[in-house]
Amino acid sequence: MSVEVYYDDDADLGLIQGRKVAVIGYGSQGHAHALSLRDSGVDVVVGLPEGSKSRAKAEEQGLRVLTPAEASAEADVIMILAPDTAQRRIYAESIAPNLAAGKALFFGHGFNIRYGLIKPPADVDVAMVAPKGPGHLVRRQYADGKGVPCLVAVEQDASGGALALALSYAKGIGGTRAGAIRTTFTEETETDLFGEQAVLCGGAAALVQTGFEVLTEAGYAPEVAYFECLHELKLIVDLMYEGGIAKMRYSISDTAEYGDLSRGPRVIDARVKEEMRKILSEVQSGEFAREWVAEDEAGRPNFSKWQAEGAAHPIEETGRKLRGMMSWVDRPITETA
């Protein structure tokens, strides 16, 4: 099945420039969208609660900040970039009372629509512009004249112009420089959750930590293990990013390539693939979403425990020391980070 990919020439920036946009939240994605839209000539207001630690930061960056309810009342495009678990309440308390026919409700990830936590009225456009990258790099790439690819989706097209508006928004944050793929809320949500759990974050972090543990438990120096299993991973992945796995294999030694081809499938074996399928089925059935919402409502006991364990892993201390010697590595990732 072929997909539709849209680039800058397919998107009319004038559409979003003609609207007032409220960006609710000023974290990883929120600051990137608000600053880049502003720099693209869009009238942006940021919505944050009175007590938010990010209010001062957004104002220092020259943005106007209102409460989520005030921002939603003023705007005709409302982009929700608060944590997924907070969105249902923000929507009910601050956005829904300020929605009117003709307005547009935008998301950066489809979680709340896909799992039925937010049910917008039929007379508003509901669309998604979901960057396929961390917000701080969305901003950095925009500022560097580049862009992070996006997924765009339309759940409700009350106006008849929801896709064009979403593409215009994607252009405003640099997404159509790299390519915006049209998808659905369901496909974005399920692939995004699977990718971050099994490959990008969960899978990669566990692979790195486990490799580090095997080497250090066998008596090798933590510094050597850190360079081997974490630092060099970026350099290897940079080659994959530039030219696929083929380009990485072109650059490594034939000894490494033989080890890659003969040993890689023993690490990521049939059992791992089966576990990945199980993870995907938990995403598809809504089991993961129910578990995460319940964990959040219970005050995140497991999340906090696992976060603390991760932060205390010996690889972090070793890395802090080594990165301190490489001034070009440990830098603030954007002006607002």
Ligand X SMILES: NC(=O)C1=CN([C@@H]2O[C@H](COP(=O)(O)OP(=O)(O)OC[C@H]3O[C@@H](n4cnc5c(N)ncnc54)[C@H](OP(=O)(O)O)[C@@H]3O)[C@@H](O)[C@H]2O)C=CC1
Q: Does residue 24 bind ligand X (CB under 6 A)?
A: yes
- The residue from 92, 100, 201, 268 that contacts ligand LWWEY6Y5 (CB under 6 A) is 201
Question: Where on the phi/psi map is residue 126: left (φ > 0), alpha (ψ -120 to 50), or beta?
Answer: beta
HSE, CB side, 13 Å, CA atoms: give it for residue 177. Answer: 12
| 179 interface partner picked from ligand X, Mg ion, ligand LWWEY6Y5, none, CB below 5 to 8 A per type | none
Q: Does residue 147 bind ligand X (CB under 6 A)?
A: no
232 is in an annotated binding site: yes
| 110 interface partner picked from Mg ion, ligand LWWEY6Y5, ligand X, none, CB below 5 to 8 A per type | none
26 is in an annotated binding site: yes
Q: Does residue 196 bind ligand LWWEY6Y5 (CB under 6 A)?
A: yes
Q: Does residue 188 bind ligand LWWEY6Y5 (CB under 6 A)?
A: no
- Could you tell me how many helices (H) and strands (E) the chain has, helices first? 18, 9
Cβ proximity to ligand X: between 84 and 125 the closer is 84
Q: Does residue 27 bind ligand LWWEY6Y5 (CB under 6 A)?
A: no
Query: Nearest CA to 175 among 125, 118, 106, 238?
Result: 106
Q: Which stretch binds ligand LWWEY6Y5 (CB under 6 A): 6-14, 46-54, 196-204, 242-250?
A: 196-204
> How far apart, in Å, are the Cα atoms of 167 and each of 13, 129, 262?
8, 8, 44
Is position 136 annotated as part of the catalytic site? no
Distance CA 35, CA 62 (A): 9
Furthest C-alpha separation in the chain: 66
Q: Does residue 121 bind ligand X (CB under 6 A)?
A: no
94 is in an annotated binding site: no
Cβ proximity to Mg ion: between 60 and 287 the closer is 287
| 26 interface partner picked from ligand LWWEY6Y5, Mg ion, ligand X, none, CB below 5 to 8 A per type | ligand X
Burial class (CB in 10 A: 0-12, 13-18, 19+), 263: exposed
Element (H, E) at 55: helix 55-60
Distance CA 30, CA 54 (A): 10
Instruction: List the 104-107 sheet strands across, edge first.
Output: 5-6, 180-183, 150-156, 125-131, 104-107, 77-80, 20-24, 43-47, 64-66
Q: How many CB atoms lie within 10 A of CB 1?
A: 2
Where in 236-275 is the site for ligand X (CB under 6 A)?
none
Cβ proximity to ligand X: between 134 and 314 the closer is 134
Question: Is the separation of the CB atoms in 46 and 58 below 8 Å?
Answer: yes
Per annotation, catalytic residue among 33, 109, 136, 313:
109
| 54 interface partner picked from ligand X, ligand LWWEY6Y5, Mg ion, none, CB below 5 to 8 A per type | ligand X
Binding site for Mg ion (CB under 5 A): 192, 196
Could you tell me which residues are annotated as the binding site? 26-29, 52, 54, 135, 192, 196, 228, 232, 253
Please give the positions annotated as active site: 109
Residues that bind ligand X (CB under 6 A): 24-30, 47-49, 52-54, 68, 81-84, 86, 90, 108-109, 130-131, 134-135
